[in-house]
Amino acid sequence: MATVLLLEPDKSLAQSYKGALQRAGHTVHWQNDAQVALGVIDEQTPDVIVLEFHLPNHNGVEFLYEIRSYPDCDHIPVLLHTMIPVEHPGLGHEFWPQLGIQEYLYKPQTTLAQLVDRVAKLTTPQLV
């Protein structure tokens, strides 16, 4: 089972996501602030980051630029799980590969079961 860093600004939603991921056997560290989340990463490198784009103080992209500059964090897969529709130009699709965003999920249309499923896929080693 994996260690998940969940960056979600809304406490109520975070409790639901955390509950579902924990039921699936994952260890979940929830943060609503990108700056504090950097401290969490310093203490324990997560296996996957579930990230809302809109965060207080720093947005998701700023957060990713920061962690991608750490040598031990350049491999962590990121699941962008956001209220912003995929076609929104502000999401900066062109930077997704370099920021390690491997999956996108539109929050209003993503069930807890789908989220758990995607996290499992991102944390399961792929056969080559």
Partner 1 sequence: MSELRPSRTSSVVSDRLLQALAEELKLPLLQIARQAELSEQKGIELSAIQALWFVDSYILSQQLLQQPHLALEPVAVSAVLQDVAHALDGLAKQYGCSLELHLSGRYAPVMAHRQGLQTALLGLASTLLTAAQNEEAPRLVLAAHRSRGGVVAGIFSQTEGLSQAVYRRGRELYGRARQPMQEFTASSGAGVFVAESLFDSMETSLRVAKHQHLTGLAATLQQSRQLSLI
Give the binding site for partner 1 (CB under 8 A): 10, 12-13, 16-17, 19-20, 83, 85, 87, 107-109, 111-113
Q: Is residue 123 within 8 Å of residue 2, measured between CB atoms?
A: yes
Min dist CB 26 to partner 1, Å, is 15
Min dist CB 111 to partner 1, Å, is 6
Structure token pair of residue 97: 């590969």
Min dist CB 7 to partner 1, Å, is 16
Nearer to partner 1, 34 or 115 (CB): 115
Task: Report CA torsion sign: 5, 91, 14, 123.
Answer: negative
Relative orientation angle of helices 11-23 and 112-123, to the nearest 10 degrees: 60
Structure token pair of residue 1: 């089972």
Nearer to partner 1, 89 or 97 (CB): 89
